Structures are given as structure tokens and as C-alpha cells.
Amino acid sequence: MLSYRLVTTMEELESYKNTWSDILEREKNDNPFIEFEWVSTWWTTLGVNDNVEIYIVEQNGVAVAFFPFVRYVRFGGIHYFVFLGQGFATYMEVIAEKQWKEPAIEYLLKELSRKYKRFILVLQGLLESKHTSQILEKYAIEYQVPHSIFRTVTPYIDFQSIKIEDFLYKHRKKFKTIQRREKKLKALGQVTFQEVHRERLADMFDLFTRRWQKKIDKSGFTEQQTRRFFERLATEKSNALRVEVDSLQFEGHWIGFTIDICCRDRNFCQAMGHEPDFNIFGPGRLIERENMLKAHASNYRFYDLGSGYEPYKFEWYTHVDFTRKFVMSTKGKRERTLRLMMVLFNRLKGQLTNNHQLVKLKRDRLGELRYFLKSARSKDWFHSFKKGINRIIAVHIFDIYVAENGQGQTTSNFNEVFIQDVMVSRRRANYVSNFHKGYRIFRNSTNDIAYLRHDQIFREEATGFTHELPSNVSYIQDNNHQLSEIVANMQEEGRAVCTSVHWYERKRRRELVQLGFQRVERITIIQVLKKKKVYRQVNNWLKYLQSQGNSIYHL
């Protein structure tokens, strides 16, 4: 004979810990969200104010199934049941051995129908591969209970189905792209991927905050109670469940992290984040690659990418499962109406979340707008307005000036700045971008940035116009205060100096002429929407290069 017991306190549930864990051990469970340690930690941190009800189905006094519910009373006496952990548990399940799952589900649903005349059951996170949703669907059809089902794709990598060599070959193009960016970053400093002890979890949350400060984040990952939950979960000692946090560090500074909840053969990627200042080096891709390869090296069979239609998940997956949301109600008009409203809402939500462009608009563009409105100054408003106009129509006219060797009048010492020197600077994002483009940065004696130098490319930043330089010419961007010293300093190296000046900067053009510069070309760029036309007086530039004995074939 089956019977059930209702547990409503964590103290009562503690006495069933061994039974709960033994069932999952025998079933070789790989869902971390139904392990006793996850449930107990959630209940004592995030779920303290929820009406948690654990229904324990027993056979002759022995627990054979656990149903972890939260119950609410809504809309005039309708009892509303959901799995606990909603919003935090990607997957949920009935904790039962295979032979007891169907009898226990059928028994408890009948008991709930007797106890509550009006109720709605909303069970989220049911993996189709675990068959619980099929049992619920069979029950609903057999007893003619109104119900609805929603599905979300759940991609994952099964390392047993593909050799690691074949996996690397299949994604060789993506790995090569990642390696190119990694090589650029390693050329600037030391890059490490390493496991993080739980004492340093605060760095992970700080990085996540920086990552999402210009985006709309609804995960609540950095809220105080959520932080406390993950910090406590990381300290739980369990044979089946463990939390692994890894960081991607550049010169000892965090630029990426991943937090994984691992359960037996499954490595579930809970969250990733990276430093937005280093976006140009692709740290998100880099830590994504390292995390997947680490999961394989740690002998996890499944690398779980989580539910959802994000494009990056479908770049790596080998298989897909589906996560179901099962909604069932009694036959009264109020609960049927409420269920139908939920159906409409979920269908609309599904259509919106499946459209990645809409998701990006809401999460990224509206997030950037919100951040701008909060922090923008008058100067920012002006630049934003100017940028908006230039996206519609813009005319850029600038001249290229070159000073030959031996034109400098005075000498001055400048110190080169390396990326390690600017890691704690508030303008780090600008510096990192410049280093990625190949600039060298120099300070003057007062520690101010004096100029940027590029030895391969002429680059006009406002328009994105670039031009390859001869081997003995360097392009500079200066702060317009020490130009003569900068030119002299570079000419001591035996290099010609190239710079640019806008058509309206008359004072600067006079200064350049006085320092021995000569104009070699005028560039006019006309842009209307996305169409761009470049007009160049190429002959003058070629004549200058020829006069210096340079090869012009590559031009």
C-alpha cells in the first residue's frame, strides 16, 4: 500500500537525506539540481520565504519517491504547485527509482485531487530523456485532465559519441580563430586558465557585474542572496555534487570565469562571464574552449550547455534533448482560464526568446541605452548626437603629412607604456583596444600619455581608414603639446614620421610645416548610410615614396 508524508521544514527533511541520496545513487542521477545538497542549500538560502512542501510517497513505511514542491494559493483559492528552485534550477525531477516513478506519480496526483478541489500543477525543467513528462502526459490523457506542454531545446556535448580528435577537427576553423586571438593576447602578457578556490568567489561576482553593467540582466546572479547560495553550495561536501569555478587571468587579473555544477557524468555550465574591456581578444570564446576541454580531460561524459536557443550553443553541440514545462489543472472554469492565460503567455514568450535579434535588442541595446541615460554627461550627449548624424551622412576630409629623417630640432625622452602598466587604469578599455590594433604607447616625463605610434599601419580612427606604411615610416597620434620633441625622438631612430590632420585644423598644419612636414595626400571620405566612397590623391603619396627610394608595388 502506498501512502504519503508531507514535510515542510528542513529539519524534517534531514532525516531522509540518506534515503534521498541512495535513490539517486542507484539511479546514477546526473541532474545536479535534484541532489540533496542542492535542494537543502536552496531551501535555506533562496527559499526561506517560500512555502516549500516535500511530498514523500512511502511503500509500507519506506520512502520510495520525493516530490519537491512549492505551493501557493492564488486567484480565490486555487492551489498552485511548482517545483522548488524555479528560476535557479534548469532541470527538475521526481526523485524516485525507475520502477516506482509511475505508480508514485499516479498515486500522488489522485491524492492531491482529493485534497484540493481546485489546483494547477506547473512542473518546469523536465527533461524528455528522463520520461517523467511522458508519465504525466499519459496520466492526463487517461483521466482526461486539461493539460499543456511547452518544450525548450537543450543542446549538449556527448564526449562518448565523438573522439576528441574528431571534435577538434570538426570545429577546427573556430579553434583557429580562437588561437589567433589568444596568440595576440599572449604576445602582450601572461594568460592562465586555472581553478579558483571558494575564497575568491567575490572576484567572480565582481567580474559578472562589470560584464553586465551595460546590459539588462534578469538572472539575479550577483544579488546578495544568490551570492550567498553559490558560496554555500561551493562548500558542500558530496560524492556526487561539486561546484567548480575556473578563471581566465591576464597578468594576474581576471578577464573571464566559468562556474560549473557537476554531478557524476555531467558537467553543467551554470554561468560564464568575461571582462568587457578585453572583448576584442575574445576572452569569452577562449574560456569556453578551455572549459570544454577541461570537462573532457576530467572524464565527464556530458558537457551541458543548458536550455535555450542561444546561437553559441549550437556551434558546439553533438546532441539535443528537450526540456518540458508541464501544466495541468483541475476542470473548474477559473483554473482552466488561468491555465489558458499561462498557455498564451508561454507561447508569446517562446516566440520572443526564440528570436535572437529581439533578445539582443532588449538585452544589449536597451541595456546600453539605460546605462547611457544613467551616466551620460553633456559631453557624452554631444558625441552621441554627432555619432548618430554621422551614421546617416558624413564627409571626412583629412591630409597625410610626412617628415623625413633628420628634421627634428630638439630631443626628449619618452618611456614606452606596456599593457601591464595600465591594468588598473580607469581608461583601460581604450588602452587595450590600442594595444590590440598594434599601437605602441609612450609617456612623457610627467607620466602623461604623449603619443601613440604604429610602425606598420596608418590609421585614421574616426573613419576606420587604414593604409600600409613603408618599412621606415611610423604613424603617430599625439596630444598636440610636444610634437617637436616626439618627431625628434623618433627621427633619432632613423624613421620618418607620418601623421594626419583634418582640413579645419589650420594651426596644426602650420606647426607641421614648421617642423619640416610636407603634405603628401588628401583623403576625402563620403558616407551615406552604409555606403562609403573614398577619394584619394594617390599620385602625391606615390611620388613621395618614390623620392625616398621605397618600393611601391604593395600599394
Residue reference for cell 485532465: 145
Distance (Å, whole) CA 50 – CA 6: 15
Q: Can you list the residues of the chain whose pLDDT is less than 70? A: 405-412, 480, 538-555
What string of H, E and C letters represents the secondary structure of 347-365? HHHHHHHHCHHHHHHHHHH
Cell of 482: 610636444
Cβ count within 10 A of residue 159: 20
Helix, strand or coil, per DSSP, at residue 408:
coil
Say what the pLDDT of residue 266 is: 97
Between helices 17-26 and 36-45, what is the axis angle to 10°? 140
Residue reference for cell 621606415: 472
Distance (Å, whole) CA 134 – CA 139: 9
Cell of 108: 500522488
Residue reference for cell 535534484: 34
Cell of 297: 580531460
Say what the pLDDT of residue 555 is: 38
Say what the pLDDT of residue 1 is: 83
- Find the helix or strand (DSSP H, E) in which 112 lies: helix 98-115
Helix, strand or coil, per DSSP, at residue 304:
strand
Question: Could you tell me the sign of the dihedral formed by the alpha carbons of 450, 456, 458, 463, in that order?
Answer: negative
Say what the pLDDT of residue 352 is: 77
Cell of 145: 485532465
Say what the pLDDT of residue 552 is: 40
Say what the pLDDT of residue 109 is: 95
pLDDT in tens, 147-165: 999 999 999 999 999 999 9
Say what the pLDDT of residue 492 is: 82
Helix, strand or coil, per DSSP, at residue 149:
strand
Say what the pLDDT of residue 406 is: 61
Say what the pLDDT of residue 347 is: 83
pLDDT in tens, 440-469: 999 988 888 889 999 999 988 888 888 888
Residue type present at position 75: F
Cβ pair 168, 182 in contact under 8 A = no
298: exposed, middle or buried (C-beta count within 10 Å: 0-12, 13-18, 19+)?
Answer: exposed
Say what the pLDDT of residue 540 is: 63
- Residue 125: DSSP 8-state: E
Say what the pLDDT of residue 481 is: 74
Cβ pair 457, 467 in contact under 8 A = yes
- Residue 467: DSSP 8-state: E
Cell of 25: 545513487
Say what the pLDDT of residue 547 is: 63
C-alpha distance from residue 401 to each of 24, 81, 538 (Å): 74, 74, 13
CA 239 to chain CA centroid, nearest Å:
30
Helix, strand or coil, per DSSP, at residue 550:
coil
Helix, strand or coil, per DSSP, at residue 16:
coil
CA 384 to chain CA centroid, nearest Å:
26
Distance (Å, whole) CA 215 – CA 206: 15
Say what the pLDDT of residue 539 is: 56
Cell of 230: 553559490
pLDDT in tens, 184-239: 999 999 999 999 988 889 999 999 999 999 898 888 888 999 999 999 999 988 88
Cβ pair 140, 87 in contact under 8 A = no
Residue 405 CB contacts under 8 Å (≥ 6 apart), including other chains: 472, 491, 494, 495, 496
β-strand partners of 63: 58
Closest residue by Cα to residue 110 from 4, 19, 203 = 4
